[in-house]
Structure 1
Amino acid sequence: MIQHSQVTDVELRSKIHHQKIHIGGNKRLKIYGLLSCSSGKRMKRQNRVFFTNEKEAIQYKYRPCGHCMKEKYKAWKDQQNIQQSHN
């Protein structure tokens, strides 16, 4: 995980260009999504993190964005409801 506040804009663009970053996330809300997501573009720099891939975001216990990853968010939400019904 790379925190946006710890890289320069030049470094960030280079990592995206060289495909070292594919997913962005909100560290306060623990949500990940596509770099093109309008919700992600509005978040504060200090809350923004980047991941190499979706698997890395999930390892950090982030959930999919409900705006740019609707199908994955729905599957995550359904799983949460199943877990809550067993408790």
Structure 2
Amino acid sequence: MRKHLELGPTTFGRLRMLSVLIGTGEISLGGNCHLKIYGRLTCASGKRLKPQNRVFFKSEEEALRHGYRPCGHCMPKEYQDWKKEQDLQF
């Protein structure tokens, strides 16, 4: 998990590092650290996040390991699967 603000000291530097990490496959998903939700980098909901709330993951497994759940907006199937699993636990 990588926090957005830890990618560099300036906005330009963070965007440049983010581009490099996406290009190399080190980042494939984004998330909200307060709501513990992850989703696709193209998600409209994720694009509205404040930089201090953004985190990035290499894979779904990494996001789930950190206790995040799928976004219901950009990952509806994954969200439904996660929700069914949660219902079985309770």
TM-score (norm 2): 0.89
Which amino acid letter does the alignment assign opposite residue 63 of structure 1?
R
1:69 corresponding residue in structure 2: 75
Deviations 1:43-84 (A, max 9, x none): 111000001111100110100000010001001111112222
Gaps of 5+ in 2: 8-13
How many pairs were matched up? 84
Secondary structure (helix, strand or coil) at the match of 2:16 reads helix
Which amino acid letter does the alignment assign opposite residue 82 of structure 2?
W
2:10 corresponding residue in structure 1: none
Secondary structure (helix, strand or coil) at the match of 1:49 reads strand
The percent identity for this pair of structures is 50
* In the alignment, structure 1 residue 13 sits paired with structure 2 residue 29: no
Gaps of 5+ in 1: none
Deviating 4+ runs (over 3 angstroms): none
Corresponding residue to 1:41 among 35, 47, 59: 47
TM-align CA RMSD: 0.8
Counterparts of 1:55 and 1:82, CA distance in 2: 20
* In the alignment, structure 1 residue 81 sits paired with structure 2 residue 77: no
Which amino acid letter does the alignment assign opposite residue 13 of structure 1?
S
TM-score (norm 1): 0.92
